[in-house]
Structure 1
Amino acid sequence: MGSAIGDILPLALGVAISPVPIIAAILMLLSPKAKGTSVGFLIGWVLGIVVAIVLFTLLASVIPEQDPDASKPIAGTIKILLGAALLFLALRQWRSRPKPGEDAALPKWMAAIDTMTAGKSFGLGFLLSAVNPKNLLMAIAAGVVIGTAGLTGGEITWAIVVFTLIAASTVAIPVIAYLLASKRMAAPLEGLRTWLVQNNATVMAVLLLVIGVVLIGKGLGSF
């Protein structure tokens, strides 16, 4: 189990260190309906992560079991392909970063956050965690790790819980902190939002590059 947890930690961090959902959560916390929309977004974000990791763990579990010491060509090939896809996304992110002196552009849907209801923010959180291509790749890779590690039902559950807690933490922490101390959190949240907006592409490019290389290395080691 320890090996599986170690393998999914960088993947969970890859989901957690996603500037766009963090920016969306911060914008909701600074909006007129801060409490309702931010809590709805957080619930949707967590549920989307859980659905994705459980689904791909179940799908990966149908891969034929092998001797733990034997090579795992199927799982290895999947990891290599996922790693290559992450490298492609890293290149796209790097090319999309703003030029020196240029302000980064936010997605158009963020302009509507001030008018969102709790239900719409829930749907947005679910889509950003469960349908976003980058997060899907992370969930697939984590599902392959967990589903092919030969774990018991209880160990699989713990692995999914660990993945979810880490992946959801960067959205959960500012939301919970704001709910506990809204007045003191307004200024720090605005500063964090500004930094994330300007450095979104660079952060994601470096993150995807590192995780993509790690996945390819893990995949090659499975042969």
Structure 2
Amino acid sequence: MAGIIGHILPLALGVALSSVPIVVMVLILLSPRGRWSSLTYLIGAVIGLAGLTTLFTAVATLLPPAPSSSKSPLIATIEVALGAGLLFIAAVRWRRARRLHHEQTEGHAAAAAGAPGGGTGTAAKSQTGAAKWMAKVTTLGPIPSLGVGFVLMLRPKNLLLTIAAGVAIGAGGATFSEVVVGIALFVVLGISTLAAPIIFAVVDPSRMRRPLEETRIWIEGNSATVTTIVVLVLGTVIIGSGLAHY
């Protein structure tokens, strides 16, 4: 059981630090119907993450048993592939963030110089698009929020992390009770960054409004860097774990 926990803790951390679900949660909490919509959003996220983890764990139990307690080329190959996928996602996010930062810098420089159309390029369009979907999120009611919470658990990074967790839980010959505890622990930790703020906000909404606003501003400015670093570290860890199984 300790081995399973050791494998899933960093994976659950990667899910918990996903910036998009956190930003959406903050926006929903700050909306007029935030109290009920945030609860259904949390329920949708729990259903999505628990369902995926259970599915991938069940599939992992069908894998051939390892010839020894530490060597399994099949599991090693799966983990190396998953780690490589996470590194690819980290590289794509890093390049996208650098390009957006470069475009924003050029736009600000053009605007400061009084150039025609300064700040109205791709970066401005990206900011407009982000503003539109943020405004849309604040209008969501309880039922749509449930669907959004579920769908956000299906994002590529989450899928890779959940597959890795399923392999760690289901492919090691664990007992049924250990599998249940592993899935529950992964889901609870993975959803903790959504559950804690939502519970506090429902209990005392007026007190949480200012911290939520500050969190939203901070995430909007730093989410790309934080997510890229987290994904990069997790991808490296998973590849290292896979190489150790050869």
**Normalised-by-shorter TM-score class:** over 0.9
Larger Rg computed on CA atoms: 2
TM-align CA RMSD: 1.6
Q: Which residue of 2 aligns with 1:99?
A: 101
* Alpha-carbon distance in 1 for matches of 2:70, 2:5: 20
Q: Which residue of 2 aligns with 1:216?
A: 239
Q: Which residue of 2 aligns with 1:75?
A: 75
**CA shift for structure 1 position 108:** 4.5
**CA shift for structure 1 position 70:** 5.0
Q: Within 5 Å, which residues of 2 pair with 1:45-56?
A: 45-56=45-56
* Alpha-carbon distance in 2 for matches of 1:91, 1:108: 26
Distance change in 2, residues 1:146/1:190 (3 Å): same
**CA shift for structure 1 position 65:** 1.3
Q: Which residue of 2 aligns with 1:116?
A: 140
* Alpha-carbon distance in 2 for matches of 1:120, 1:108: 17
Distance change in 2, residues 1:6/1:107 (3 Å): farther
* Alpha-carbon distance in 2 for matches of 1:56, 1:107: 35
* Alpha-carbon distance in 2 for matches of 1:69, 1:112: 50
Does residue 191 (structure 1) correspond to residue 214 (structure 2)? The answer is yes
* Alpha-carbon distance in 2 for matches of 1:70, 1:182: 50
Q: What SS does the aligned partner of 1:71 have?
A: coil
Where do 5+ consecutive residues of structure 2 fail to align? Answer: 106-122
Q: Within 5 Å, which residues of 2 pair with 1:104-183?
A: 105=127, 106=130, 108-129=132-153, 131-183=154-206
Letter in 2 for 1:62: L
**CA shift for structure 1 position 127:** 0.4
- Number of residue pairs matched by the alignment: 222
Q: Which residue of 1 aligns with 2:227?
A: 204
* Alpha-carbon distance in 1 for matches of 2:75, 2:39: 37
Deviations 1:13-71 (A, max 9, x none): 10000111111001011000011210110000111010010000000110011344351
* Alpha-carbon distance in 1 for matches of 2:214, 2:70: 51
**CA shift for structure 1 position 113:** 1.4
* Alpha-carbon distance in 2 for matches of 1:126, 1:147: 23
Distance change in 2, residues 1:107/1:7 (3 Å): farther
Letter in 2 for 1:121: S
Q: TM-score, normalised by structure 1?
A: 0.95
